[in-house]
Structure 1
Amino acid sequence: MADETAAATPGGAARRALPATGWAVLGLLSFGEELSGYDLKKWSDRSLRFFYWSPSFSQIYSELKRLEKAGYAASRMVAQETGTRDKRVYRITGEGMDAVRRWARETPVDPPVLKHGPMLRLWLGHLLEPRQMRELLLRQQEFAEGMRLGAEADAAAAQEEEAWAYPTLTLKWAERYYASERDLAAAMLKDIETLDAPGTTGTDRTP
């Protein structure tokens, strides 16, 4: 996890290192709107969660404080209707826009790391009853289809905002990804049926 120490850029300017959550929050602000912590959480739930992760409220507010301290974001209080507490909204600064643009263009992209619970259970399938393995794969199908439908709906909503052209494409990628996860689980169910066919045994298989 990156810390808050300043790192020198080739041009001599100092830039502050941020954890991935910080860059994600700053990236949400880079679309140019003033957003509250609640807005940022809502936006991350409608986009980031489908392909990375959705930070908690505590993580978002922690990163907003860090971004303000770094000079990457600024905030102000906005009056609300009578009887409602004023809310604080955040915007990206010019320095913040330069930093997140530089991060997106220059920072090496980490390869995706697969941590797949159903696959791990499938690997240990010799310890499960066939019924348990089938139920697990059916749940994986249902989960993947639910995520696919969510990504499809949010992609359709994002199309209404011209500034969200690339997030829309990312959501379409997520939609296709979860469709493939759904179909892979279905294929695994067929493979399990083959293993359970007469004349095959699963208890003496080694990894």
Structure 2
Amino acid sequence: MTQEPPNLPPTSWAVLGLLSFGQELSGYDLKKWADWSLKFFYWSPSYSQIYGELKRLEKAGYAVSRVELTESTRGKRVYAITDEGRAAVSRWARDAPVEPPVLKHGVMLRAWLGHLMEPERLREVIEQHREYADRMSRLAEVDAEGAAEVAEWAYPELVLRWSKRYYEAERDLARQMLDDLEELARRPPPKPEGGEHARLKK
């Protein structure tokens, strides 16, 4: 019988997953690793979020910490995954239900409200998003190439390449939206009471 994964939020599993690659990591290290990989497809955490999750994981017995002495007067606290934590995150990765991603796309929401904006301003917003997606795709490619040099990061490398393709698609969709806006500008204005709005009012 498959054991149910513990009831932890996905952010906890993300932090525990960072520890699952076998190294002891400080909160600073975890932030750096998350910004290097997780930010492309899931989460770019703050330090307070990371430390909050680490406390949760220690309380659950899934991580342990120790103070590593350094040359400074204050030691550095580092964290490691426990055997129980590795088993738990393995069960979660293997057995958790496959949930559809939740799309909360701020630029699409603003475009949906395009009738409240000047057409040129809407184009500027979408162009900024297109540039952002292009930049993220290039960053993901660089980080994927870095991951390819470390055997333990074989799967993160594949996900970074997935992220690269995702942002390329988002860039291309933004470009298509700009073309759609040009086409819309050439259309004759619709009749006031026609179309789908009239049906929705009934």
Instruction: Give the TM-score taking structure 1 as reference length.
Output: 0.87
Contact 1:16–1:70, Cα closer than 8 Å, also in 2: no
Q: How has the CA–CA distance of structure 1 residues 80 and 119 changed in structure 2, closer, same or farther, with 3 Å as cutoff?
A: same
Q: List per-residue Cα deviations over 1:115-152 (Å, max 9, x = no partner).
A: 11111122121222111111111111111111112111
Instruction: State the secondary structure of the residue aligned to 1:101.
Output: helix
Higher relative helix content: 2
Instruction: Give the TM-score taking structure 2 as reference length.
Output: 0.89
CA apart distance, 1:203: 9.5
Q: Which amino acid aligns with 1:113?
A: V
Contact 1:126–1:203, Cα closer than 8 Å, also in 2: no
Q: Which amino acid aligns with 1:166?
A: Y
Q: Which amino acid aligns with 1:186?
A: R
Aligned partner (choices 63, 69, 78) of residue 89 of structure 1: 78
Aligned partner (choices 101, 104, 109) of residue 98 of structure 2: 109
* Structure 1 stretch displaced more, 160-169 or 125-134: 125-134
* Structure 1 stretch displaced more, 16-25 or 93-102: 16-25
Instruction: State the secondary structure of the residue aligned to 1:76.
Output: strand
Instruction: State the secondary structure of the residue aligned to 2:16.
Output: helix
Instruction: State the secondary structure of the residue aligned to 2:126.
Output: helix
Q: Which amino acid aligns with 2:189?
A: T
- Could you tell me which runs of 5 or more consecutive residues in structure 1 were left unpaired when the two chains were aligned: 1-9
Contact 1:71–1:93, Cα closer than 8 Å, also in 2: yes
Instruction: Write the distance in 1 (CA, Å) between the matches of 2:181 and 2:52.
Output: 46
Q: List per-residue Cα deviations over 1:76-117 (Å, max 9, x = no partner).
A: 111112x35210111111111111101111110221111111
Contact 1:195–1:202, Cα closer than 8 Å, also in 2: no
Q: How has the CA–CA distance of structure 1 residues 188 and 14 changed in structure 2, closer, same or farther, with 3 Å as cutoff?
A: closer
Contact 1:158–1:168, Cα closer than 8 Å, also in 2: yes
Instruction: State the secondary structure of the residue aligned to 1:196.
Output: helix
Instruction: Write the distance in 2 (CA, Å) between the matches of 1:65 and 1:73.
Output: 9
Q: How has the CA–CA distance of structure 1 residues 200 and 106 changed in structure 2, closer, same or farther, with 3 Å as cutoff?
A: same
Which residue number in structure 2 is paired with residue 143 of structure 1?
132
Q: Which amino acid aligns with 1:19?
A: P
Aligned partner (choices 157, 164, 168) of residue 168 of structure 1: 157
Instruction: Write the distance in 1 (CA, Å) between the matches of 2:65 and 2:146.
Output: 27
- Quick check: 1:74 aligned with 2:69? no
1:41-80 equivalent positions in 2, closer than 5 A: 41-80=31-70
CA apart distance, 1:200: 2.1
* Aligned residue-pair number: 195
Instruction: Write the distance in 2 (CA, Å) between the matches of 1:206 and 1:125.
Output: 17
CA apart distance, 1:38: 0.5
Superposition RMSD in Å: 2.0
Which residue number in structure 2 is paired with residue 201 of structure 1?
189
Identity %: 60
Which residue number in structure 1 is paired with residue 29 of structure 2?
39
Q: Which amino acid aligns with 1:162?
A: A
Instruction: State the secondary structure of the residue aligned to 1:114.
Output: coil
Q: List per-residue Cα deviations over 1:150-186 (Å, max 9, x = no partner).
A: 1111111111111000001001011011011111111
Instruction: Write the distance in 1 (CA, Å) between the matches of 2:95 and 2:4.
Output: 15
Instruction: State the secondary structure of the residue aligned to 2:23.
Output: coil
